[in-house]
Structure 1
Amino acid sequence: MKDPVRIVLRSGKDQSLKRYHPWVFSGAIKKIYGDPGEGDIVNVYSNQDEFLGTGHYQEGSIAIRILSFNEEEITGDFYLHRIKEAIAMREKLGLSDERAINICRLVNAEGDGLPGLIIDYYKGVAVMQFHSIGMHMHRDLLVRGLQEALGDGLSAVYDKSAASLPSRYASGYKNEYLLGFADPSVVKEHGNQFRVDWEGGQKTGFFIDQRENRKLLGEYAAGRKVLNLFGYTGGFSVYARQGGAEVVHTVDSSAHAVEMANENMRLNFGKAHRHKGIT
Structure 2
Amino acid sequence: MLLAMLLLRQAAALQRCTPSLRRTVTRMAASKSVTIKRGKARLFRDGNPLVYGGAVERTSGDVSRGDAVEVVDGAGNNIGWGFYNPDSMYRVRLLPGPMQDDPMQAVRSLIETACERRSALNLPSEATSAFRLINSEGDGLSGLTVDAYGAHLVCSISAAWAEARRVEITAALEESYSTLIGEKPQIIWRPAVARLRSEGLEIEADDDADNDAVEATESSLVYEVDVWGQKTGFYCDQRDNRNFLAPLCAGKRVLDLYCYSGGFALSAAKHGASQCLGVDSSRRAVELAQRNAERNALDGICSFVSSDVSAFLNANTDEYDVVVCDPPKLAPSVRDLPRAKRKYQKINALALNAVKPGGLLLTCSCSSAMTTSEGAFLAMLREASKDAGKRLTVLRTAGAAADHVLHPAFPEGAYLTAALVQVVDR
- State the TM-score, normalized to the length of structure 1: 0.89
Equivalent residue for 1:232? 260
Equivalent residue for 2:159? 132
Report whether the alignment pairs 1:42 with 2:69. Answer: yes
Deviation larger for 156-165 or 138-147 = 156-165
| Contact persistence 1:4–1:41 (CA under 8 A) | no
Report whether the alignment pairs 1:163 with 2:203. Answer: no
> Take 2:203 and 2:40, find their aligned partners in 1: how far apart are those partners?
37
The CA deviation string for residues 194-231 of structure 1, in whole angstroms up to 9 with x for no partner, is 10121x31111111122112212213222322221111
| Shift of residue 162, structure 1, vs aligned partner | 4.8
> Take 2:96 and 2:299, find their aligned partners in 1: how far apart are those partners?
52
Q: How does 1:77-156 map to 2 (within 5 A)?
A: 77-97=105-125, 99-151=126-178, 152-156=182-186
| Shift of residue 4, structure 1, vs aligned partner | 4.8
In the alignment, structure 1 segments of 5+ residues that lack a partner are: none
Q: How does 1:200-215 map to 2 (within 5 A)?
A: 200-215=228-243
| Contact persistence 1:45–1:53 (CA under 8 A) | yes
| Contact persistence 1:24–1:62 (CA under 8 A) | yes
Q: Comparing both structures, which one devotes a greater share of its residues to helix?
A: 2
**Residues 89, 54 of structure 1: alpha-carbon distance in 2 compared, 3 angstrom cutoff:** same
Larger radius of gyration: 2
Pairing partner for 2:247 from 216, 219, 232: 219
Deviation larger for 44-53 or 54-63 = 54-63
> Take 1:51 and 1:43, find their aligned partners in 2: how far apart are those partners?
7
| Contact persistence 1:56–1:135 (CA under 8 A) | no
In the alignment, structure 2 segments of 5+ residues that lack a partner are: 1-29, 308-426
> Take 2:55 and 2:304, find their aligned partners in 1: how far apart are those partners?
52
Secondary structure at the aligned position of 1:30 is classed as: strand
Equivalent residue for 2:217? 188
Equivalent residue for 2:38? 11
**Residues 75, 63 of structure 1: alpha-carbon distance in 2 compared, 3 angstrom cutoff:** closer
Equivalent residue for 1:173? 204
User: For residue 121 of structure 1, what is the amino acid of its counterpart?
Assistant: A
User: For residue 260 of structure 2, what is the amino acid of its counterpart?
Assistant: Y
Count of matched residue pairs: 272
> Take 2:203 and 2:218, find their aligned partners in 1: how far apart are those partners?
35
> Take 1:76 and 1:144, find their aligned partners in 2: how far apart are those partners?
11
| Shift of residue 274, structure 1, vs aligned partner | 3.7
> Take 2:162 and 2:172, find their aligned partners in 1: how far apart are those partners?
13
Secondary structure at the aligned position of 1:275 is classed as: strand
| Contact persistence 2:41–2:73 (CA under 8 A) | yes
| Contact persistence 2:289–2:304 (CA under 8 A) | no
> Take 1:77 and 1:44, find their aligned partners in 2: how far apart are those partners?
18
| Contact persistence 1:156–1:182 (CA under 8 A) | no
| Contact persistence 1:162–1:170 (CA under 8 A) | no
| Shift of residue 176, structure 1, vs aligned partner | 5.9
| Shift of residue 135, structure 1, vs aligned partner | 1.5
> Take 1:23 and 1:33, find their aligned partners in 2: how far apart are those partners?
19
| Shift of residue 100, structure 1, vs aligned partner | 0.4
Identical counterparts, % of pairs:
29
The CA deviation string for residues 152-199 of structure 1, in whole angstroms up to 9 with x for no partner, is 53331111105354226443433269xxx862132111111110121x
> Take 2:195 and 2:88, find their aligned partners in 1: how far apart are those partners?
12
User: For residue 185 of structure 2, what is the amino acid of its counterpart?
Assistant: S
| Contact persistence 1:125–1:154 (CA under 8 A) | no
| Contact persistence 2:80–2:98 (CA under 8 A) | yes
